[in-house]
Amino acid sequence: MLQKIKNEIVESQIFKSVFRHGYPDNDLDRAYAIFSSVFLHIHPVKVRRSALRMRYTFCLGGITLFLFIILAVTGIWLMFYYTPYTGLAYRNIKDLQFVIFGGNLMRDLHRFAAHGMVLFVWLHMTRVFLTGAYKAPREFNWVVGVVLLVNTLVLSWTGYLLPWDQLAYWAVTVGAKMASYTPLIGQNGPWGPQLGFLPTNDIMFMLLGGTVVGQNALIRFYVLHCVVLPLVVTVFLAVHFWRIRKDGFSGPL
């Protein structure tokens, strides 16, 4: 009876339109199922048994991806209740805390997921380094991982300003001042003045949209945090998983 039901499902037009190569009950069809799947193609067709051990990867990369998905979902929800305007931003945050149903929960989920993503991406990179998983043929994917790490840190920093409270204001002020000491492109950095960078055209001015943390800075950080950086992270995540598929899981020999 069960076999008959299975055959009817497998032979149906709906099943064949989704799974183009038949039910994966042999090695060839299993390989085809992974190659042709949107969700399974991030994994290599063949995986070392040792690479599947929990104590080797601790699933740190998977946890990081899961936290990024939580950030995307909660971030989109929060965007419905937030206005990137200095006269409303702080009041919007207070409304999320005390007025909007579930607002404080969603904000806390977003905040703790952000903290967790920073932690787990560091742990993931540390694990990859200590196990030598960055070596040939995975050097390019290591560079992609470093780019993702930097973008994760910048994501957290740009999101820091959005509550528009005293802590956010002065933290970003300090960070922007530090940026002005960047070599070559900062007004106070080595060779910056010699190359013609002034308070009105250096990296700090580009970040803040001016010389002080104000409305221009808030809108720029909002666009960076909600649009530009998530898109960059998504693209590099796609490249990261594509390289994992091509290079295979490292795994201890």
Task: State how far the Cα of 93 lies from the Cα of 104, in Å rounded to an integer.
Answer: 9
- Read off the pLDDT band of 4 (50, 70, 90): confident
What CATH class is the domain 59-247?
mainly alpha
- Read off the pLDDT band of 46 (50, 70, 90): confident
pLDDT tens per residue, range 96-109: 999 999 999 999 99
On the question of pLDDT at 240 being above 80, the answer is: yes
CB-based contact 86:221 (threshold 8 Å): no
Using a 10 angstrom Cβ sphere, with 0-12 exposed, 13-18 middle and 19 or more buried, the burial of residue 72 is middle
Task: State how far the Cα of 183 lies from the Cα of 192, in Å rounded to an integer.
Answer: 6
pTM above 0.75, yes or no: yes
Q: Tell me which residue has tokens 């040792």.
A: 50
CA distances from 15 to 11, 23, 42 (A): 7, 9, 22
Q: Tell me which residue has tokens 């042999």.
A: 26
Task: State how far the Cα of 105 lies from the Cα of 125, in Å rounded to an integer.
Answer: 30
| Most confident of the ranges 7-11, 67-71, 133-137, 193-197 | 67-71
Cβ within 8 Å of residue 33, ≥6 positions away: 19, 21, 24, 40
On the question of pLDDT at 24 being above 90, the answer is: no
Task: State how far the Cα of 68 lies from the Cα of 116, in Å rounded to an integer.
Answer: 9
Task: State how far the Cα of 103 lies from the Cα of 99, in Å rounded to an integer.
Answer: 8
On the question of pLDDT at 192 being above 80, the answer is: yes
On the question of pLDDT at 127 being above 70, the answer is: yes
CB-based contact 43:62 (threshold 8 Å): no
- Read off the pLDDT band of 253 (50, 70, 90): low
Helix (H, G, I), strand (E, B) or coil at 185: coil
On the question of pLDDT at 80 being above 80, the answer is: yes
CB-based contact 245:34 (threshold 8 Å): no
pLDDT number for residue 51: 77
On the question of pLDDT at 5 being above 80, the answer is: yes
CB-based contact 175:159 (threshold 8 Å): no
Side chain identity at 88, as an amino acid letter?
Answer: L
On the question of pLDDT at 52 being above 80, the answer is: no
How many C-beta neighbours within 10 Å does residue 117 have? 23
